[in-house]
């Protein structure tokens, strides 16, 4: 049962990373319907789902260690997360900045940078690319969350995260504080759900059409709510409903044959590598498409849709090949992107 549940969570993680890649395809002049899709649907699911899955898997692993009485020291955990998150953060940030500096004079580059970006990445986590905040922010979470592993303490940290989310104060973007203010709650909710059988079984027992209906209703309501406080609360409820729907849908998919689930599980296994490198491959794909399209990727809706499918597919598939093949042959590269070396020892 536990293995099956993890399969469904991994499928949800695969869906989350595909939504992340899709969200980062945002060429100027996109059709109105696409902007609405991005802003009012995908934006409410992608990172909340990713953070939720991270919290869920963290507590699941911790409880399994407790059963086997394998207690990991705090320093060991922090070092492991530093290797997993921060070394790839600095490596990929420097790589992205270097690529942008070399290419931006000769080809189209979204969000060009300057040499100062190399030291700005130590505090402005979105310097190399906005998506890079996740690695830095998740590391900060792992500095805190081990001190709140018990059920009672998880409730306390979840309440704190909810208060941080709701207070009408803007946090600075340095050290991913602004992003953590709005996303930490989903990590904590993932921890809570993972730690309680009743909550874990809810997506399985619930008809997935219920959270889907709630999600659609809340999505529509966010278009009309202007109050900052109520808009944030509605956004939270919308994201929770969206996460519940994806979890239920993932549970539904997990019942199918391996021909359907295996590709999604591969995506889940490579999700962090996809997260780190998808914008690089997407950038090259967009630049390659720009030339035959004379710099206009949104000439008409058909060209836009085809271009989007191509760019998003490359953003998912290319990092998978990088993960599955290159990492097998390089201990150094495995270390730099925070993955386990897959080659023969």
What would the pLDDT profile of 1-60 be if each residue is shown by its tens digit? 445 557 888 898 899 899 889 888 887 777 777 777 887 777 778 888 889 989 998 998
Q: How many domains does the chain have?
A: 1
Higher pLDDT, 208 or 243: 243
Residue 342 lies in a domain: no
Neighbours of 215 (CB within 10 A): 23
Residue 343 lies in a domain: no
* Nearest alpha-carbon partner for 28 in 111, 144, 152, 114: 111
Residue 96 lies in a domain: yes
Whole-number Å distance between alpha carbons of 264 and 15:
8
What are the tens digits of pLDDT across the range 313-327? 999 999 999 888 777
Residue 127 lies in a domain: yes
The single-letter DSSP state of residue 176 is: T
Neighbours of 229 (CB within 10 A): 11
**Mean predicted confidence (pLDDT) in 229-243:** 83
Residue 30 lies in a domain: yes
| pLDDT surpasses 70 at 92 | yes
Residue 341 lies in a domain: no
Model pLDDT, residue 215? 83
Residue 171 lies in a domain: yes
Model pLDDT, residue 156? 94
What's the whole-model pTM score? 0.85
Residue 193 lies in a domain: yes
Neighbours of 80 (CB within 10 A): 13
Model pLDDT, residue 114? 81
Model pLDDT, residue 155? 92
Within 1-45, residue ranges assigned H as helices are 2-23, 32-40
Model pLDDT, residue 313? 93
The single-letter DSSP state of residue 174 is: B
216 lies in which domain range? 2-336
Model pLDDT, residue 1? 41
What are the tens digits of pLDDT across the range 129-153? 778 888 899 999 999 999 998 889 9
Q: Between vectors from CA 37 to CA 33 and to CA 39, what angle results, nearest 5°?
A: 115
């Amino acid at each position: 049962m536990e293995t099956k549940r993890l399969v469904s969570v991994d499928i949800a993680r695969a869906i989350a990373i595909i939504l992340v890649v899709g969200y980062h395809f945002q060429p100027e002049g996109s059709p109105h319907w696409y902007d609405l899709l991005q802003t009012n649907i995908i934006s409410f699911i992608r990172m909340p789902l990713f953070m939720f899955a991270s919290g869920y898997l963290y507590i699941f692993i911790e409880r399994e260690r407790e059963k086997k009485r394998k207690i990991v020291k705090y320093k060991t955990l922090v070092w492991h997360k530093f290797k997993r998150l921060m070394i790839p953060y600095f490596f990929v940030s420097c790589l992205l900045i270097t690529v942008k500096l070399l290419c931006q004079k000769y080809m189209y580059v979204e969000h060009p940078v300057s040499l100062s970006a190399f030291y700005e990445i130590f505090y402005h986590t979105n310097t190399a690319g906005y998506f890079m905040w996740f690695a830095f922010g998740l590391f900060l979470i792992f500095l805190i969350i081990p001190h709140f592993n018990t059920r009672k303490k998880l409730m306390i940290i979840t309440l704190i995260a909810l208060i941080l989310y709701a207070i009408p104060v803007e946090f600075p973007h340095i050290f991913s504080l602004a992003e953590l203010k709005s996303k930490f709650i989903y990590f904590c909710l993932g921890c809570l759900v993972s730690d309680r059988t009743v909550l874990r079984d809810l997506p399985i027992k619930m008809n997935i059409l219920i959270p889907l209906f709630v999600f659609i209703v809340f999505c529509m309501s966010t278009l009309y709510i202007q109050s900052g406080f109520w808009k944030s609360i509605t956004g939270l409820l919308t994201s929770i409903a969206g996460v519940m729907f994806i979890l239920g849908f993932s549970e539904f998919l997990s019942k199918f044959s391996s021909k359907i689930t295996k590709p999604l599980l591969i995506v889940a296994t490579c999700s962090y590598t996809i997260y780190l490198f998808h914008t690089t491959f997407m950038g090259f794909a967009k630049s390659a498409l720009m030339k035959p399209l004379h710099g206009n990727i949104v000439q008409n809706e058909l060209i836009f849709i085809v271009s989007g499918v191509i760019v998003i597919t490359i953003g998912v598939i290319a990092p998978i090949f990088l993960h599955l093949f290159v990492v097998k042959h390089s201990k150094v590269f495995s270390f730099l992107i925070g993955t386990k070396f897959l080659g023969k020892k």
